Amino acid sequence: MPLLRRRSKPLLALLAFAALALVLSACAFYKAGSLKVSQPAGIGSVRVHFEICTEPEPQGEGQATICKPNEEPSPEAPDQTQHIVGIAVPRGSTAPATFTGTPLQGGPPIVFTRNDQAAQAITEVSAGSEEPWPPAGMEGFGYTSTVVTEEVGALREWSFDPGFGLPTAADGGSFGGPFPVALAFGLRGVGGEFGSPERPVDCATSPEDLTKESAICEGIEDAQTAVSDLKVGVAPQVSTFLGGKATLSFPFDFASTAAELPTFNLTTTSTLPNAKLKLSSPIFAPSPPDPTTHRSPAASASVTVTVPKNAKPGTYDIALTATTPQGGSVSQVAKLRVTKAKLGLGKVKLNKAKGTATLFVKVPAAGTLTVSGKGLAKAQRKAKKAKTLKVPVKPKGATKALLSEDGKAKVKAKVTFKPTGAAPVVRSKGILLKQN
């Protein structure tokens, strides 16, 4: 089973095929040329694709590797094996805890589980090589597989597609790539004299060190892909009154090294029942990124919320989601505080000489205050902000005549405040007018 001819970047340059064939023959190995890195959703996680198969034979540059049925093993070969994979990605990337290989030629799936000790073993054995794993500036994640039972004469092939989350850029912003991947591969026998699959990974450093309990570890291939990343910032919390409107602005931070930039469809939702939501635009098309920073100019999208008049006061979520045509999406949630406008009805100052009064009213925001009522002349005052307004209370008609005759008259003032762009709030206050 010629392993060395499949390696493009060996960790064990002195590990001869003769030593390998003695211990591990008729086994599945990495399929040369199968490493592909992509960002299928246009943003978000990067897919690292690679394949393993029985008896892979590279056919030369530019040609696909051929997989053949398992050969008759040597007497010393194990009946069961375990695969070891190291995947190096940019520092700060998030790695899956497990990933599963899909069988392409029958047989059971292979499940890989995160194993930090395996990553350390590959790192240590490659430390003296010209191309150590993980490469500088990258972070290596190790995985060990479920046990694979070798089948003589069977053609087996597995396809793997673990997803790795993009890191955050050094300045805390979006990551525009590129996203490099360096793959390492290992194999060891398990069961009986070969040892438990739970034992620590021990990568042989030379042919002389290779034992039935140690593993063959080697660098395989590397690849990279251009990526795009969108971060949606949190809109500052805003407040509005029942029946009012509020606008929340979500900042966008976009970076990319892709030849074609994604266009995002924007949608918005709210936990506020029956609220009307309006986007500033249904689409976000990023401007071309700076070739040095890979960042696009700052942008934003806003959501205008119309609050129902009968809404319940409280704090509600306003969510904005940006989605690519390929299905990638990113969301952010902001808070909207809904309150009922409150009026503070203050003191009443009587003018007994004229038979009038002045009512002091504290309003919570900009709007129009109106005082009216039976037997009263209508009076209005406007406010540009929260303040205390002084509103005249003047009798008219029969109330004015009664006041002149008896020297006093009781009235009920209807106090209405209409906040700008919101539902009005109404209160009333009884006032005893007096005239000397």
Retrieve residue 303's tokens. Answer: 């959501």
Retrieve residue 141's tokens. Answer: 């994640």
- Number of Cβ atoms within 10 Å of the Cβ of 97: 8
> What are the beta bridge partners of residue 277?
305
Determine how β-strand 299-306 pairs with β-strand 329-339.
unpaired
- Number of Cβ atoms within 10 Å of the Cβ of 278: 12
| Mean pLDDT of the region 81-101 | 96
Inform me whether the pLDDT recorded for 13 exceeds 60.
no
Q: Which of 262, 103, 91, 219 is nearest to 164 (CA)?
A: 91
| Mean pLDDT of the region 76-82 | 80
Inform me whether the pLDDT recorded for 59 exceeds 90.
no
Token pair 């010209």: residue = 130
**Mean per-residue pLDDT of the chain:** 89
Retrieve residue 352's tokens. Answer: 């007994």
Determine how β-strand 138-145 pairs with β-strand 110-114.
antiparallel
Q: What is the pLDDT of residue 423?
A: 87
| Mean pLDDT of the region 285-301 | 96
| Sequence-separated (6 or more) residues with CB below 8 Å from residue 152 | 26, 70, 71, 72, 73
Residue type, 421: G
Inform me whether the pLDDT recorded for 92 exceeds 90.
yes
In terms of average pLDDT, the best of 52-61, 66-75, 216-225, 268-277 is 268-277
Decide which of 31 and 128 is more confident: 31
Q: What is the pLDDT of residue 4?
A: 26
Q: What is the pLDDT of residue 10?
A: 40
Q: What is the pLDDT of residue 15?
A: 36
Q: What is the pLDDT of residue 79?
A: 81
| Mean pLDDT of the region 283-306 | 96
Mind giving me the DSSP string for 20-51? Answer: HHHHS-S-EEE-TT--EEE-TTSSSPEEEEEE
d(CA 99, CA 409): 85
Q: What is the pLDDT of residue 76?
A: 67
- Residue pLDDT, tens place only, 423-436: 899 999 999 999 98
Q: What is the pLDDT of residue 22?
A: 43
- Residue pLDDT, tens place only, 315-348: 999 999 999 999 999 999 999 999 999 999 999 9
The CATH number of the structural domain formed by 229-339 is 2.60.40.10
CATH 2.60.40.10 domain residues, the chain = 229-339
Identify the CATH assignment for 4-225 out of 2.60.40, 1.10.10, 1.10.3470, 2.20.28.
2.60.40
Q: What is the pLDDT of residue 5?
A: 27
The CATH number of the structural domain formed by 344-434 is 2.60.40
Q: What confidence tier does 74 reach under pLDDT thresholds 50, 70, 90?
A: low
Q: What confidence tier does 52 reach under pLDDT thresholds 50, 70, 90?
A: very high
Q: What is the pLDDT of residue 349?
A: 96
Q: What is the pLDDT of residue 72?
A: 66
Q: What confidence tier does 247 reach under pLDDT thresholds 50, 70, 90?
A: very high
Inform me whether the pLDDT recorded for 311 exceeds 80.
yes
Inform me whether the pLDDT recorded for 8 exceeds 50.
no
* Percent of the chain scoring above 70 in pLDDT: 92
Q: What is the pLDDT of residue 133?
A: 94
User: DSSP secondary-structure letter at 119?
Assistant: H
